[in-house]
Amino acid sequence: MVAAEAQLAGMAATLEELFKGQREHLMKVRSLETQKSVRAETLAAEKCQFNYRKLEVERAEQEQDQLQARLNYVVKKEQDEILLEVTRLRDMREDTDTTGNVEMDKIKSKAKKELKDKKKEIKFLKEKNAPCRLQIYFAKATELQGGADATFLPWERECLMCLSEETYIVFLPCAQQVLSSGWNDLQE
């Protein structure tokens, strides 16, 4: 009986190990099944996303084809319009070349006459403006020399060429130059 109990205890230990192995195997199978189901769901989601992207690509290709067709149509239409405009301008130029020479001569003579009149008018205005300029220059000269009431202190000036004393001022349209009589004699 002791031998039977020992044998029974050994069988119980073996059964315990078998149950433990079965449980571990069952846990692995369940883990693999959950991984399989998760991967199946991920694969289904990826397929769905792939199909969606594929539809987007097809839609984009269709839009691109439509835009290309529209662009080709617009380009051809513009080219036709440009060709028509070029031929119209060429015909118009040929027409104006024959009649344009007479009109060109008329325009040239009219322009020459207007230019002559404008030159006369400019000359007249310059002559009319000359006394005003002189008055302005004289007013500036008196102002620089101390003004009409002589209360203004004169500036000390030297000749620009020889750096001697000031004797007279030459007024130019763009500036004033102070020159001495000695420099003037040297120049003469």
Contact 82, 74 (CB under 8 A): no
Q: Is 154 left (phi over 0), alpha (psi -120 to 50) or beta?
A: beta
Instruction: Give residue for tokens 């070029």.
Output: 86
Condensed to tens digits (0 to 9), the pLDDT of residues 82-120 reads 999 999 999 888 877 777 777 888 889 999 999 999 999
H or E element that contains 154: none
Which residues make Cβ contacts (< 8 Å) with residue 182, sequence separation at least 6? 159, 162, 164
pTM given for the model:
0.34
Cα–Cα distance between 153 and 127 in angstroms, integer?
35
Cα–Cα distance between 48 and 55 in angstroms, integer?
11
Condensed to tens digits (0 to 9), the pLDDT of residues 164-186 reads 555 555 544 444 555 555 655 65
pLDDT value for 132: 76
Which residues make Cβ contacts (< 8 Å) with residue 141, sequence separation at least 6? 169, 171
- Between 45-54, 86-95, 108-117, 143-152, the lowest mean confidence (pLDDT) is in 143-152
